Amino acid sequence: MTLEILTSDSLAPVRHGFFTRRGGASSGVFAGLNCGQGSSDQSEIVAINRARVADAMGVAHENLVSVHQVHSADAVTVDGPFRDKPRADALVTDKPGLALSVLTADCQPVLFADATAGVIGAAHAGWRGALDGVLEATVDAMCDLGADRGAIHAAIGPSISQRAYEVGPEFFDTFLAEDADNARFFANGHDDRMFFDLPGFGLHRLRKAGVGDAEWTRHCTYSDPDRFYSYRRTTHAKEADYGRLIAAIAL
């Protein structure tokens, strides 16, 4: 099966892709294109999957760059392949030949580009990172490399949608403590439960950061098991582990 790569018109002509699970070498619960080196999948199979992504992005295998994601608001500037992955959740560069990548399985994969300035970025934005400012940190780091904030285009890839993201009252309180207006990203559920709009919150933060354009591809990871891995779906199914989707962008 060939790779399935979702793209955003707003990021064109910059090379990029939100890769689905289709077209990979993994099997079992990881069946497909599992690119998670931190999963319990066979490391050599994950390496094959990542090599396929690098080939699709047109970069050397070692130039598919990623970080050790920790749900932080930290963005790093990349000049070349890492010897040791830094603990961060976003990457930016102005160097051709590198593909910046992030892994997700419900969290938001966000790709950024200022095509005129030749600056790109990628961010892993779960609720914690988005609330703490990882999207704004990515934009700031791109501007430090010469990007024009208003010329930056950002696209959120496959993420868990509001209808599948049920949360408790403590979660709601955490967002309201940050800003009472965040209540608009929650819908009432059963009893004290609520449904959180993670992509809607991400778009709000991107637009507030002043980017020129921001969109979500409108793919829900939880609701489409044939195409996407989902941490929450795996938890509900009581499976032992789950695959990680990859999103990448390159100059």
- Determine if residue 82 is left, alpha or beta; phi over 0 gives left, psi from -120 to 50 gives alpha, anything else beta: beta
**CB 155, CB 8: distance < 8 Å:** yes
Interatomic CA distance for residues 126 and 202, integer angstroms: 9
Reading the block at residue 161, the tokens are: 């949608």
d(CA 119, CA 135): 15
Q: Name the β-bridge partners of 6.
A: 18
| Report field, pTM of the whole predicted structure over 0.95 | yes
Whether the bond between 13 and the residue before it is cis, its omega within 30 degrees of 0, is yes
CA dihedral 55, 243, 130, 14 (to 10 degrees): 20
Q: How far apart are CA 131 and CA 211, in angstroms?
A: 17
Q: DSSP assignment, residue 207?
A: H
* Pair type for strands 119-125 and 108-114: antiparallel
Query: Residue 151 and residue 108: Cα distance in Å, rounded?
Result: 21
Cα separation, 56 vs 224, in Å, equals 23
Q: How far is CA 41 from CA 44, 157, 188, in A?
A: 9, 23, 37
The CATH code that applies to domain 5-161+197-250 is 3.60.140.10
Over its length of 251 residues, how does the chain's per-residue pLDDT go in tens digits? 799 999 999 999 999 999 999 999 999 999 999 999 989 999 999 999 999 999 999 999 999 999 999 999 999 999 999 989 999 999 999 999 999 999 999 999 999 999 999 999 999 999 999 999 999 999 999 999 999 999 999 999 999 999 999 999 999 999 999 999 999 999 999 999 999 999 999 999 999 999 999 999 999 999 999 999 999 999 999 998 999 999 999 99
Q: What is the DSSP letter of 21?
A: S
In whole angstroms, give the CA distance from residue 209 to residue 223. 30
pLDDT digits (tens, 9 = 90+) for 9-52: 999 999 999 999 999 999 999 999 999 998 999 999 999 999 99
> Is the distance from CB of 215 to CB of 110 less than 8 angstroms?
no
Task: Say how far apart CA 15 and CA 8 lie, in whole Å.
Answer: 10
Secondary structure of residue 77 in the 3-state scheme: strand
Model pLDDT, residue 240: 87
Q: What is the residue whose two structure tokens read 């199914």?
A: 237
